[in-house]
Amino acid sequence: MAKKLFVKTYGCQMNAYDSARMADLLAPQGYGVAAAAEEADMVILNTCHIREKAAEKVYSELGRLRALKQNRRATGHDLVIAVAGCVAQAEGEEVRRRAPWVDLVVGPQAFHRLPELLAGVRTGAGAAIDTDFPAAAKFDHLPEEAGGRGPSVFLTVQEGCDKFCSFCVVPYTRGAEYSRPVADVTAEAERLLAGGCREITLLGQNVNAYHGAGPDGPDGRPWGLASLIRHLAGLEGLSRLRYTTSHPLDMEAELIAAHAEVPALMPYLHLPVQSGSDAVLAAMGRRHRAEDYLRLVERLRAARPDLAISGDFIVGFPGESDADFAATITLVREVGYASAYSFKYSARPGTPAADLEGQLPEALKIARLAELQNLLDAQQLAFNRSCEGRRLEVLLERPGRQPGQLVGRSPYMQAVHLPAPSQLLGKVVNVTIERGMANSLAARLADPHDELGADAA
């Protein structure tokens, strides 16, 4: 009988990409996809270590899986439990100690070895840990990705980070920056497009630092992200390109120009700033001032006036004063975000900021986060309302919650739902926005004549 695999994904889009690749790896071992842990023979938790809460979630899920495994064993079956991702990398031994029922622990750069590790579990060799590092090896050992990923797909082009922001675990869990060669990325993009995808989001922890080997082989000049984007934009079948996440320091002139010149590059940019205070930015090791970020946003908007900007913020960083926090609020007002993510600072073991003096009380962090989120929510709602009455192109990605409804994304990353026949799934259509709400837009199909035109896009 066919076995089933359930992968539960935490954290960022890079984990989502890795989860899909893990399923590709285990398919030849006879594993189909299960909809829930209860139906699976193997469960992989693909974990995130970015904040304490994210990491703790994993241990509570492991508690639940232990009970499931015990029930399974009582009926003469088994459940293989694997922990992958950034918690595995950062605290693999701790996982084994706190959850000895885990069968294997595999880091983000070593998951191409899952089949081998699994074979070891089957022969009763005992629990396996593999948290080896170089990212290059992984990409060379992954099988071709299976089709059927849907109209909008992620494609990891860069991994790891050399920035070492003082609060962040990523350089430790994902290792040094590595960029995949242009030829590999192109081949993967072509296969995804042949499988019916229309939109590709290029992923990297620091994606705009991309510098992959050019197509002339290892001796060729490396390409920056702008060149990669221009190249991919010419592939047959591609309608839309996006990339995430970018660091303000690596936003080069050529990449800004691509926003003006490449029609497939969508007018949305996730550009985290973290704080509007120069003192906090310096303590975070971000290596730019608030003013630099504001000038950068100006240059981007000069290139693409309708660019929707999104960001990440941390409130309650050690030593953050009322004035520092007020500077963040001022920056947010100046930029006007279309969407944003904001977090309370979480001290991460092993990062420099965890040892700084001036750690702030939880109540203060909660209050600042609420104030910032109120402002960001209001900006997002205002942006969504400003779209009312506009005609926008939407890539229809999946059925909506109501019967007869499809859901997709606008060029600006907004979720859009509208009544539409299911034949339009996977197509880019013209819609008219009827209502802008807090987290989505309601729309109707524009003139049917436009629909045909958009489909050819």
Contact footprint for ligand SF4 (CB under 6 A): 161, 163-165, 168, 170-171, 205-206, 247
Long-range own/partner contacts, residues 356-362 (CB < 8 A, 24 or more apart): 356/166, 356/283, 356/318, 356/319, 357/318, 357/319, 358/318, 358/319, 358/320, 359/318, 360/316, 360/317, 360/318, 360/320
245 versus 410: smaller Cβ distance to ligand F3S: 245
Residues 6+ apart with CB under 8 A from 17: 154, 155, 156, 203
Which residue from 114, 192, 196, 194 is spatially nearest to 156, judged by alpha carbons? 192
31 binds, among ligand F3S, ligand SAH, ligand SF4, none (CB under 5 to 8 A by kind): none
**Which residues, listed in sequence order, are joined to residue 112 by a DSSP beta bridge?**
none
348 binds, among ligand SF4, ligand SAH, ligand F3S, none (CB under 5 to 8 A by kind): ligand SAH
343 binds, among ligand F3S, ligand SAH, ligand SF4, none (CB under 5 to 8 A by kind): ligand SAH
Judged by DSSP in three states, 25 sits in helix
83 versus 168: smaller Cβ distance to ligand SF4: 168
CA distances from 292 to 90, 119, 284, 295, 297 (A): 33, 52, 15, 5, 9
51 binds, among ligand F3S, ligand SF4, ligand SAH, none (CB under 5 to 8 A by kind): ligand SAH
d(CA 400, CA 396): 10
d(CA 40, CA 252): 46
CB of residue 39 to ligand F3S, shortest distance in Å: 25
d(CA 373, CA 380): 10
174 lies in the site for ligand F3S, by CB under 6 A: yes
243 versus 383: smaller Cβ distance to ligand SF4: 243
Number of other CB atoms surrounding residue 180 within 10 Å: 23
- What element of type H or E holds 417? strand 415-419
x/- map, 379-408, ligand F3S, by CB under 6 A: ------------------------------
Give the helix, strand, coil percentages of the chain, each rounded to 5: 40, 25, 35
Interacting residues with ligand SAH (CB under 6 A): 50-51, 167-168, 170, 205-206, 245, 247, 272, 274, 312, 314, 343, 345-346, 348
CB of residue 441 to ligand SF4, shortest distance in Å: 30
48 binds, among ligand F3S, ligand SAH, ligand SF4, none (CB under 5 to 8 A by kind): ligand F3S
x/- map, 29-68, ligand F3S, by CB under 6 A: -------------------xxx------------------
Positions in the binding site for ligand F3S (CB under 6 A): 11-12, 14-15, 48-50, 85-86, 169-170, 173-174, 205
